[in-house]
Amino acid sequence: MPKLLLLGLDPSGASGIPDEAALFLADSTLVLAGNPGNPLLEQHFAGRVLEASADRVRAALMSEDDVAYVSVGHPLLDDGLARELHQKATAAAWQVHVVGAPSLLERAYATLSLGSVVHTVVSGPAQPINHPNTALLVVAANVPKRGLQKLVRQYPGAHRVDVLSLRGRSAPAAQTLPLSEVMAQQADVLYFPPLAPLERLHAPETLRWIMARLRAPDGCPWDQEQTHQTLKRHLLEETAEVIDALDEEDMIALREELGDLLLQVYFQAQVAEEQGDFSFDDVVRGISEKLVRRHPHVFGDRPVGSAAQALANWEQIKQEEHASQGKERQSLLDRVPRSLSGLATAQAIGNTVVKVGFDWPDVQGVVAKLREEIDELVAAESADERFEEFGDVLFVLAQVAKWMQVDAEEALRASNAKFRRRFAYMEEVARQAGRDLSDYSFEKLDSLWEEAKLATSNPWGCPR
């Protein structure tokens, strides 16, 4: 029956390897450690210790050979990987022998004034260590250097860390240093206080904290005055700026504009939380639950064969949800948002009513209807009639787009952008001539326009 030795070394280095462990450590015994580069292990084993990688641990547990695992401090208190090995070897009916040593954590708790600070203990290479928002007590003696480096990268260099060293000392030597200096120390234990909000500007919860701070009684007067209704305009503007960045394929602008749009979500949620309606957590929970519920082919056992089938499932589940919540729509058109632009709304209405067969039989029919509406617009005599008939022309034109599988809103946006490019070219020509466009005759402007059409197209005649 194979044996496992879990050996702890005195962190002060005052004592060597106990006799009972030395007998076990024959030349042929595999010796592993979470942090084989620790100077204390180098002192006692002179490079014999191998790092306890996942593959090496797996192979060792499958073999019939004795294994030793070495920690600094007490293996079952100060080393998470030693505890894991103890559990697995015991379950496999190995003989497990533990040789302890004074605990690093015991000394750390006796030295540091943690009080009631909630913290996470990191004591081995296999543990996740991405907790910059929580205080961390790290048994650095048993964590490999690359693990510490990964941890350090999550904090700013100026973050203050408590450093405890015991090697060669009967009592811990403690000092507080900026993180940029910590890796040069021979630390046994490190204490990372949680990051302050302004130290973790990348974290979503920091934006939530900033928003609450701005709305606080001693915050920003303008932010304090905002309501759901006053923020609507900003929500629309930020959405439009995101779309502009997408149209321009400007990734730097897109990153910034997405942040501005995200702020509006946090802002609305903060106002709602102050009024006792709901919190940002409720918003996140709601959309997460909806995504899981409406993707049973991903999170459940309902298979789909295509994107179209996935969309059909989504619509069916949505209707079932509305029915169960007593939110069944009275009209088919209730599903078309009222805050879309007029052109987008017109096309969405057409796409919706076609589901019950209310549509022209072919594209010729809708084109004929467009001609009819244009004739009525031309014949209109009063301002009210022109207003109504012009709306009818746009509505039917949106249905032409639907039949031709053109996104009417995007097509108009593209034409607007094309006009901007050409007009900007005309302005630049006039500017270089030291003139203003208003100085030119219509004939000259028309000529400049034709020139702009050529200048703003690529060699194949496609608009850029």
Does the structure show a pLDDT above 60 at 126? Answer: no
426 and 369 housed in the same domain: no
Domain boundary among 274, 293, 312: 293
The total number of structural domains that make up the chain: 5
- Residue 350 lies inside a defined structural domain of this protein: yes
234 and 286 housed in the same domain: yes
Q: Taking residues 180-199, report their average pLDDT.
A: 86
How far does Cα 22 stand from its chain's mean position?
A: 51
- Residue 254 lies inside a defined structural domain of this protein: yes
Q: Report yes or no: 3 and 95 within 8 Å, Cβ to Cβ.
A: yes
The DSSP H or E segment spanning 97 is strand 95-99
113 and 190 housed in the same domain: yes
- Residue 433 lies inside a defined structural domain of this protein: yes
Convert the pLDDT of each residue in 324-363 to its tens digit: 777 666 777 777 777 778 888 888 888 888 888 888 888 8
- Residue 85 lies inside a defined structural domain of this protein: yes
Burial of residue 390, with CB atoms counted within 10 A of its CB: 0-12 exposed, 13-18 middle, 19 or more buried: middle
- Residue 439 lies inside a defined structural domain of this protein: yes
Convert the pLDDT of each residue in 417-435 to its tens digit: 899 899 999 999 999 999 9
258 and 345 housed in the same domain: no
- Residue 124 lies inside a defined structural domain of this protein: yes
- Residue 463 lies inside a defined structural domain of this protein: no
86 and 9 housed in the same domain: yes
Convert the pLDDT of each residue in 138-147 to its tens digit: 999 999 888 8
Domain of residue 434 covers 410-455
Q: Considering only 53-57, 168-172, 395-399, 403-407, which range has the smallest mean pLDDT?
A: 168-172
Domain boundary among 183, 199, 215: 199
Q: Report yes or no: 301 and 321 within 8 Å, Cβ to Cβ.
A: no
Kindly report the pTM of this predicted structure.
0.55
Convert the pLDDT of each residue in 59-104 to its tens digit: 988 888 899 999 999 999 999 999 999 999 999 899 999 999 999 9
Domain boundary among 406, 421, 442: 406
Question: Could you tell me the pLDDT band of residue 261, with boundaries at 50, 70 and 90?
Answer: very high
Tell me, what CATH number does 153's domain have? 3.30.950.10
**What is the percent of the chain where pLDDT is above 90?**
49
Does the structure show a pLDDT above 70 at 131? Answer: no
350 and 385 housed in the same domain: yes
253 and 289 housed in the same domain: yes
Q: Report yes or no: 121 and 105 within 8 Å, Cβ to Cβ.
A: yes
